[in-house]
């Protein structure tokens, strides 16, 4: 690339200097300028040299924009699929050949317009032939020797597209390694760009998360079948379009599945008929089932919101609220599940200390026995089976 830069800079400066020299020659041919110079040859030479220097400087200034465009074009060609490259080259060659065939007709035109006309015809012919070739790129590849027909129109069919959140989350590596997710993993270029932006953020926390995501992708690419940027071309470029929207369009075009932990992306994709694997839903599904009345052994970690409450957590992260246990924070206790509450954030378990639950159960049993005993007495009195009363 360094050699290309040097050659391009040399060409631009040379062309700029040549154009400056031509401009200087034209400048000196103007009658008014001739009269001002009064035949001073040295001053005329300096004027031409000045124009040439301006042309060289202009070529140097233009170099930055030209090299940026060339670099961008090279990156686009590098990311372009093989079929597109073949179609582009063959279409360009056919366009140039068609332009050459039209050369004899152009020679009949006035010489001063000949170059402009042939350039215009060449551009039009190359554009038309490349567009035609791109529309039949799959068929053109079969013309090459030893070429084989593509196995599938969409090589990512049934593949898994990863979004930015799931990469930063980090759990995807263990899930893929365990075999719960199969097939080809794909990271679109715009997701990688968003991850790079996060890694370059001024916020230290965001920067750390972005770099962790990039490190995770590097590790996954070595261990799993992970592709990056290969199929972005199927939806084209759309500057300013949100990443989530592009993800959904790409998944529909490739007939692939989005892997995410973003609730909003999950809903939007499902509304548009795109399959989604939500890691949070998988985590909730894998949590053990807890029944009312079941005993749990937990460690109380902190006080709860309400008076007397303490909070503990199960191994998978489920929150357990224990009544009348605030004074025992830091201890490991046995609790009895009283009720369950399912929220959007997950499941919450409400419980009581086992000894308290046993006392409450004993009191309840005593009250029930007392109730039935009193009821039986009242019923016996109504039946007349009890002792008779004297009038």
pLDDT digit string, tens, across residues 155-173: 566 788 999 999 998 888 8
* Tokens matching residue 347: 């499941």
Beta strands in the chain (DSSP E): 160-162, 185-187, 226-228, 257-260, 276-278, 295-303, 310-313, 319-323, 332-343, 346-353
> Which residues lie across from 320 on neighbouring strands?
312, 349
CA distance 197 to 164: 11
CA distance 82 to 233: 12
Per-residue confidence (pLDDT) for residue 389, from 0 to 100: 45
* Tokens matching residue 126: 């190359």
Higher-confidence residue of 356 and 100: namely 100
Per-residue confidence (pLDDT) for residue 148, from 0 to 100: 54
Strands 185-187, 160-162: parallel, antiparallel or unpaired by DSSP? parallel
Q: Which residue has the tokens 């992970």?
A: 226
**Residue 86 CB coordination number (10 Å):** 18
Give SS3 for 237. Answer: coil
Per-residue confidence (pLDDT) for residue 312, from 0 to 100: 92
Cα angle 244, 250, 251; round to 5? 90
* Tokens matching residue 189: 């270029």
Strand order in the sheet with 185-187: 226-228, 185-187, 160-162, 257-260, 276-278
Per-residue confidence (pLDDT) for residue 258, from 0 to 100: 92
CATH superfamily of 290-383: Nucleic acid-binding proteins (2.40.50.140)
Q: Which residue has the tokens 């060659």?
A: 93
- Say yes or no to pLDDT of 369 above 90: no
255: left (phi over 0), alpha (psi -120 to 50) or beta: left
- Say yes or no to pLDDT of 42 above 60: yes
CA distance 180 to 186: 16
Higher-confidence residue of 153 and 317: namely 317
- Say yes or no to pLDDT of 288 above 80: no
DSSP line for 126-188: HHHHHHHHHTTHHHHHTTSTT----S-SSTTTT-EEE-HHHHHH-THHHHHHHTSS-S-EEE-
Burial class (CB in 10 A: 0-12, 13-18, 19+), 116: exposed
- Say yes or no to pLDDT of 391 above 60: no
For the chain, which residues make up each domain, given as ranges?
Answer: 2-141, 160-285, 290-383
The CATH architecture that domain 160-285 belongs to is 3-Layer(aba) Sandwich (3.40)
The model carries a pTM of: 0.49
CA distance 294 to 350: 11
Per-residue confidence (pLDDT) for residue 226, from 0 to 100: 81
Report the percent of the chain where pLDDT is more than 90.
Answer: 4
| pLDDT, mean of residues 318-338 | 89
State the maximum Cα–Cα separation within the chain, in Å, rounded to a whole number: 159
* Tokens matching residue 322: 């224990």
- Say yes or no to pLDDT of 237 above 90: no
- Say yes or no to pLDDT of 17 above 80: yes
Which range is most confident: 74-88, 237-251, 297-311? 297-311
Strands 226-228, 310-313: parallel, antiparallel or unpaired by DSSP? unpaired
Could you tell me the CA-to-CA distances from 200 to 71, 165, 219 in Å, in that order?
A: 22, 16, 20
- Across the chain, what does the average pLDDT equal? 81
Per-residue confidence (pLDDT) for residue 147, from 0 to 100: 53
Per-residue confidence (pLDDT) for residue 88, from 0 to 100: 83
Contacts with 172 (C-beta within 8 Å, 6 or more apart), sequence order: 162, 166, 181, 216, 220, 259, 279
- Say yes or no to pLDDT of 385 above 60: no
Confidence of residue 310 (pLDDT cuts 50, 70, 90): very high
């Amino acid at each position: 690339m360094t050699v290309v830069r040097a050659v391009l800079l040399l060409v631009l400066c040379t062309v700029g200097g040549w154009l400056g020299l031509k401009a200087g020659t034209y400048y000196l041919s103007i009658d008014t300028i001739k009269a001002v110079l009064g035949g001073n040859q040295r001053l005329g030479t300096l004027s031409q040299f000045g124009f040439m220097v301006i042309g060289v400087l202009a070529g140097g200034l233009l170099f930055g924009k030209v090299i940026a465009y060339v670099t961008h074009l090279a990156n686009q060609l590098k990311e372009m699929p093989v079929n597109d490259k073949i179609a582009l080259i063959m279409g360009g060659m056919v366009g140039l050949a068609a332009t050459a065939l039209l050369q004899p007709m152009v020679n009949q035109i006035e010489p001063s317009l000949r170059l402009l006309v042939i350039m215009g015809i060449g551009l039009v012919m190359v554009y038309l032939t490349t567009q035609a070739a791109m529309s039949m790129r799959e068929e053109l590849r079969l013309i090459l020797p030893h070429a084989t027909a593509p196995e599938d129109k969409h090589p990512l069919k049934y593949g898994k597209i990863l979004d930015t959140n799931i990469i930063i989350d980090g759990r995807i590596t263990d899930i893929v390694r365990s075999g719960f997710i199969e097939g080809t993993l794909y990271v679109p270029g715009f997701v990688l760009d968003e991850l790079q932006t996060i890694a370059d953020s001024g916020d230290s926390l965001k920067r750390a998360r972005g770099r962790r995501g990039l490190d995770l992708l590097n590790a996954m690419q070595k261990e799993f079948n992970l592709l990056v940027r290969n199929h972005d071309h199927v939806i084209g470029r759309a500057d300013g379009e949100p990443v989530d929207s592009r993800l959904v369009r790409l998944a529909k075009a490739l007939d692939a599945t989005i892997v995410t932990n973003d609730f909003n992306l999950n809903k939007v994709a499902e509304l548009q008929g795109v399959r989604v694997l939500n890691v949070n839903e998988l985590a909730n599904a894998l949590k053990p089932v807890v029944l009312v009345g079941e005993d749990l052994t937990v460690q109380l970690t902190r006080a709860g919101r309400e008076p007397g409450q303490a909070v503990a957590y199960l191994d998978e992260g489920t929150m357990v609220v224990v009544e009348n246990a605030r004074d025992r924070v830091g201890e490991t206790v046995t609790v009895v599940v009283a009720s369950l509450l399912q929220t959007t954030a997950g499941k919450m378990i409400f419980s009581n200390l086992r000894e308290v639950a046993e006392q409450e159960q004993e009191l309840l049993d005593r009250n029930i026995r007392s109730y039935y005993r009193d009821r039986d007495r009242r019923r016996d009195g109504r039946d007349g089976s009890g002792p008779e009363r004297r009038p």
